[in-house]
Amino acid sequence: MQILNGREASQAIKDQLKLSVAQMAAQGKKVPHLAAILVGNNGASETYVNAKVKACEEIGFKSTLIRAEDTISSLRLLDTIAQLNADYDVDGILVQLPLPQHISDTEVINAVHPDKDVDGFHPINVGKMVLGQPTYVPATPYGIMLLIEHYKIETKGKHAVVVGRSNIVGRPMSILLSGAGAYGNCTVTLCHSHTTNLKELCLEADIIVAALGKPGFIKEDMVKEGAVIIDVGITRVPDSSKKSGFRLSGDVDFEKVAPKCSYITPVPGGVGPMTIAALMKNTFRACAAKHHDR
């Protein structure tokens, strides 16, 4: 069994980006600029957005963090996005999810200009991804593909079972793994809350991507010997023995499942850091595209 070390793989990607940015700057070109919008005070969202800003600093990107109260009106949020769309210096715009109840995700996602949509959530970019056209691929699934590539895991002809059909992870993951790319060509089964024979399907999987948000859901009796396990879950479980008051739990029962598989991602230190690296790659591309257009 080998651990898929997301920290190491993401560091390699960030190091490479850092060199490319230094080159850009040396040629007198503008460097990539990511604008992140964080609404409210969700602790997990704060952690993730801070990690994104920190990664920008590390690589040499410019970043702008815009914080808004969770009472911000939809209209004001949309206006903020419009300003960032119009700001030439901003290459990538990211609105951290989840948003407060009174704001429509769809309206916000649709408001970000597709050329600056480094999250790859805009319908135009989702459409391109489905068609296999070059576009921004959502950071978590893109990060998982980069991790698979980093470890040169064979996917061609394999049966991948994706558990969870969210717009930001499960659904795009199923499309990428079934696509014709270098690390695609899987036969994909997309499972969700109405799947009746989940255990049987998982037992047939060469690759399982667990993205349903239920701590420890994937048990050892659901996993075939030698399977590749990608754990996207990252739930904060209350734990009074921790000074934060919680521990992070993946969707996979790691202790029991790990001995059975060929590769497995840990939580934390697996998919999370890859999400950040993938976002950085998208932001770099958004900026490089501008340089090519001039």
Q: Identify which of residues 65 and 203 has a Cβ nearer to ligand L34 in the complex.
A: 65
User: Using CB under 6 A, which residues numbered 67 to 106 contact ligand L34?
Assistant: 94-97
- Per CB under 6 A, the list member of 63, 189, 275, 283 interacting with ligand L34 is 275
Backbone angles phi, psi at 83, to 5 degrees: -65, -40
> Up-side HSE of residue 220: CA atoms within 13 Å toward CB?
7
Q: Which of the residues 52, 62, 116, 281 is marked catalytic?
A: 52
Pick 133 or 244: Cβ nearer ligand L34 = 244
Q: Which stretch binds ligand L34 (CB under 6 A): 82-90, 124-132, 208-216, 265-273?
A: 265-273
Cβ 37 vs Cβ 80: under 8 Å: yes
Give the number of other CB atoms < 10 A from CB of residue 130: 14
Binding mask 104-143 for ligand L34 (x = CB under 6 A): ---------------x-------------------xx---
Annotated active-site residue in 62, 91, 96, 253 = 96
CB of 157 to ligand L34, least distance (A): 30
Report the residue number whose CB is nearest to ligand L34. 272
CA distance 277 to 294: 27
* Contact letters for ligand L34, residues 222-261 (x by CB under 6 A): ------------x-------------x-------------
- Asked about 83 being catalytic, the answer comes back as no
The catalytic residue among 91, 117, 119, 231 is 119
Cα atoms found within 13 Å of the Cα of residue 62, Cβ hemisphere only: 14
Nearest to 281 by CA among 142, 130, 131: 142
Q: Is 273 within 8 Å of 6 (Cβ atoms)?
A: yes
Long-range contacts of 83-88 (CB under 8 A, 24+ apart): 84/35, 84/116, 85/111, 85/112, 85/113, 85/116, 87/35
Q: Is 96 designated active site?
A: yes
- Separation of alpha carbons 154 and 182, rounded Å: 9
**Residues tagged active-site:** 52, 96, 119
The residues binding ligand L34 (CB under 6 A) are 47-48, 51, 94-97, 119, 139-140, 234, 248, 267-269, 272-273, 275-276
